Chain A
């Protein structure tokens, strides 16, 4: 039957197939080429986690290393996109995005708008987010709300290997700047992925599970937590509908509204810090548009308003888990205390 590969392999395969199909697709970042041919190491390291491993051997003219200078190479990506190339820049950890904000927010995101729609900026910035690997505050944040705030950027957060491949190919073929956020804990997660190239359109949420009692909107890795919670709640007679937005910009709010119109209850699970998060954004938008349908106050399950801790015990408490999701669901049904 269908082939099973990891989340990491799915992203690697998407890039490889697009580089093969279109020679203007280029990849650069740190350690994409470095290490090639050194003792004991025939292949390049393939980026900090090995996501681009193997690409250098297949496409030596479409991949290069950059200095450890995010502001330079993200700016280079924006410039390359303007010349007609389709760059994929790898910016190790989303936590480092601060040093290249101008290039992303004030340049790449604005080109199309400033040039009256005539300029295209087909670039992808791949980056990792999320806590869970004991990498401490400066390598563990979940910062997609910051990009979602900026008009002109598309923001993609795949929750599984199948979506990761289809959304990456769609990102590469898109003519706007796309921030592609990969959860570092999920790289080894396996799933069925077709060998052929395919795209998943931006702005279409996936209904991961159908249910009539409570709508759970979960982002990225949090979809797994929501699924686990929904299974246990099903045993208690509470049927949850799980919606995975897949892309935060554009956001498929229509699917979320339709679900809430049916269930009357909403829980949003988001690993970001709670203030100005995707959770607060979706709760606000549902409150404004579906107020008459709501049977209970919407609930947010997020990280607390602190940086991700280095202490393993604290880090495990920091990331929302199935138990907290289930408690929030019960808070909306009156079956438990407010989360």
Chain B
């Protein structure tokens, strides 16, 4: 049972996606699991034959418990049985608050900014959430990506646990926060990955500071065309009740069932804080004025390696904005996934990003 996010303690096995005896490759989706926040598919961590589906549909299992056994065809059944028995007799769920990574605060330009750091070394990667989003949108990505390097996820002003004042709310304002963060952390050069408006922020930053950017990863990125779903932007600002918020959030996913009660409650708890709606209004007026993206980045001037990942069912920023990127940019379009492509297709997104960053270095 994987751990998705800092607060996950257990997950519910919803549905097996493959039969026992199936030939499995690393990265194949095995089983759908529901955590408090969101449903996701668990991917195979190694290749082989799916010898045992240990967890049954409907089981609620602690993080770290055994879901399935994958082994070569040559391993005798008795060995598989012995392994399962051994695991189950010795498995102890991890105690709460085992001192895992926790968000920290840093002062940038007079504003307190929340960030989450994972991993060490390499050229660091900075994750920038989009409009209304916070570090939790990278819950399926940050830990995996931090196996190769230090990865920082940032709450932009007005978002998540950061201060609510958003200045003039422009892309340049947010790019300035990224700059301040890098200075504060002593990072001279970083890979930047931004989701949605976060991609536009990363790109605006790259235009101003080409020497500080090793590469750009654009996840369902804004900034490369005028279209934006203003029904979503306005719906998100207006939503103060569960139903309205659920309807708004469902636009973000190709599969609307992924929006759970806890996800809705978490976003409402953020939205109901003093100053948040004003901040969101200011940003929307600056970045998405009159239902259009106010600023389209001149992609030809970026001059850094670019990876773009899009779900082809993105209802917020059209996937065909990728055509406005330079021809040398690598573009991954993932079928039947929506705007939150890094959540809905976490495995493929993580693999594309890891491979891209590895290739750049």
With the chains together, A198 CA to B272 CA distance in Å?
5
Q: Which residues of A contact B238 (CB under 8 A)?
A: none
Contact B273 A196 (CB under 8 A): yes
A1 on interface, CB distance cutoff 8 Å: yes
Cβ–Cβ < 8 Å partners of B6 in chain A: 1
Contact between A198 and B242, CB atoms less than 8 A apart? no
CB of A199 within 8 A of CB of B261, answer no
- Among B241-279, those with CB < 8 Å from A are 241-242, 261, 269, 272-275
How many Å from the CB of B101 to the closest CB on chain A?
11
The answer to whether B269 touches A194, judged by C-beta atoms less than 8 angstroms apart, is yes
> Given A1-B102, A201-B240, A201-B241, does the pair A207, B261 have CB atoms closer than 8 Å?
yes
**B273: which of A194, A207, A210 is its contact (CB, 8 Å)?**
A194
Chain A residues, CB < 8 A from B274: 196-199
| Smallest beta-carbon distance A198→chain B, Å | 4
Interface positions of A from 210 to 262, Cβ below 8 Å from B: 210
When distances are taken between beta carbons in the complex, the residues of chain A under 8 Å from B275 are: 196
**Once the chains are docked, how many angstroms separate the CA of A198 from the CA of B255?**
31
The answer to whether A199 and B272 touch across the interface, beta carbons within 8 angstroms, is: yes
- Of A194, A196, A204, most buried by chain B (CB within 10 Å of CB) is A196
B272 / chain A contacts, CB cutoff of 8 Å: 166, 198-201
Measured between alpha carbons, how far is A197 from B164 in the docked complex, in Å? 12
Give the number of A-B contacts (CB < 8 Å): 29
Most chain B CB atoms below 10 A, which of A197, A198, A201, A210: A198
Q: How many residues of B contact A (CB 8 A)?
A: 14
- For window 167-210 of B, CB contacts with A under 8 Å fall at none
Q: Is the CB of B269 within 8 A of A198?
A: yes
Residues in A whose Cβ lies below 8 Å from that of B7: 1
Docked Cα-Cα span, A197 to B269, in Å, equals 11
Q: Is the CB of A197 within 8 A of B273?
A: yes
Chain B residue nearest to A192 in the complex (CB): B269
User: 1/0 per residue A177-221: CB within 8 Å of B?
Assistant: 000000000000000001011111100100100100000000000
Chain B residue, CB-CB nearest to A254: B243
The distance from the CB of A225 to the nearest CB of chain B, in whole angstroms, is 21
Check B261–A210 contact: CB distance below 8 A.
yes
Query: In the complex the two chains form, is A198's CB within 8 Å of B273's CB?
Result: yes
Closest to B265 in A: A206
CA distance A185 to B7 in the complex (A): 29
- Cβ-closest chain B residue relative to A201: B240
B-chain residues with CB within 8 Å of residue A200 when the two chains form the complex? 272
Query: For A197, what are the chain B residues with a Cβ–Cβ distance below 8 Å?
Result: 273-274
Q: Tell me which residues across on chain A come within 8 A of B164, comparing CB atoms.
A: 196
Q: How far apart are A195's CB and chain B's nearest CB, in angstroms?
A: 10
CB distance from B243 to the nearest CB of A (A): 9
Interface mask (A75-92 → B, CB under 8 Å = 1, otherwise 0): 000000000000000000
* Bound CA span A333–B288, Å: 52
CA distance in complex: A1, B101 (Å): 10
- Distance in angstroms from A165 CB to nearest chain B CB is 11
Which of chain B's residues have a CB closer than 8 A to the CB of A196?
A: 164, 273-275
Complex Cα distance, B238 from A201, in Å, reads 13
Contact A204 B273 (CB under 8 A): no
| C-alpha spacing A220/B148, complex, angstroms | 49
**Bound complex: CA of A88 vs CA of B261, how far in Å?**
34
Which residue on chain A has the smallest CB distance to residue B7? A1
Residues of A within 8 A of B269 (CB): 162, 194, 198
User: How far does the alpha carbon of A162 sit from the alpha carbon of B273 in the complex, in Å?
Assistant: 12
Least Cβ–Cβ distance between A254 and chain B, in angstroms: 9
Closest to A206 in B: B265
With A and B bound together, what is the CA distance between A180 and B103 in angstroms?
35
Rounded to whole Å, the gap between the CB of B13 and the closest CB of chain A is: 16
Q: Report A-chain residues with C-beta under 8 Å of the C-beta of B241.
A: 201, 204
Q: How far is the CB of A216 from chain B (nearest CB, A)?
A: 16
- Given the complex of chains A and B, what is the CA–CA distance between A197 and B6 in angstroms? 24
Complex CA distance for A200 and B240, rounded to whole angstroms: 9
CB distance from B109 to the nearest CB of A (A): 19
Q: Name the B residues within 8 Å of A162 (CB-CB).
A: 269
Contacts of A194 in B (CB 8 A): 269, 273
Residues 96-118 (chain B) with a chain A CB within 8 angstroms: 102-103
Closest-CB distance, A15 to chain B (whole angstroms): 15
Q: Is the CB of B261 within 8 A of A204?
A: no
User: CB distance B102 to A204 under 8 Å?
Assistant: no
A17 to chain B, nearest CB (A): 9
Q: When chains A and B are docked, how far (Å) is the Cα of A204 from the Cα of B242? A: 8
Q: Which residues of B contact A199 (CB under 8 A)?
A: 272, 274
List the B side residues contacting A166 at CB < 8 Å: 272
CA–CA, A196 and B162, complex, Å: 11
Closest residue of chain B to A207, judged by CB?
B261
Could you tell me the distance between the alpha carbons of A198 and B274 in the complex, rounded to whole angstroms? 5
Give bound CA distance, A201 to B261, whole Å: 17
Q: State in angstroms the CA–CA spacing of A166 and B270 once bound together.
A: 12
> B240 — which chain A residues lie within 8 A by C-beta?
201
Most-contacted residue by chain A among B7, B103, B241, B272 (CB, 10 A): B272
Which chain A residue has the least Cβ–Cβ distance from B97?
Answer: A1
Docked complex Cα distance between A148 and B103 (Å):
43
Q: How close is A259's CB to chain B, nearest CB, in angstroms?
A: 12
CA distance A166 to B274 in the complex (A): 11
Chain B residues positioned under 8 Å from A201 (CB to CB): 240-241, 272
Tell me the complex Cα distance, A199–B270, Å: 10
* Chain B residues within 8 Å of A207, by CB: 242, 261
Docked Cα-Cα span, A210 to B7, in Å, equals 19
Interface residues of B (CB under 8 A from A): 6-7, 102-103, 164, 240-242, 261, 269, 272-275
16 A–B pairs (Cβ distance < 8 Å), ordered by A: A1-B7, A1-B102, A162-B269, A166-B272, A196-B164, A196-B273, A196-B274, A196-B275, A197-B273, A198-B272, A198-B273, A198-B274, A199-B272, A199-B274, A201-B272, A207-B242
A194-B269, A200-B272, A204-B241 are known contacts; what are 13 more A-B pairs with Cβ within 8 Å?
A1-B7, A196-B164, A196-B273, A196-B274, A196-B275, A197-B274, A198-B272, A198-B274, A199-B274, A201-B240, A207-B242, A207-B261, A210-B261
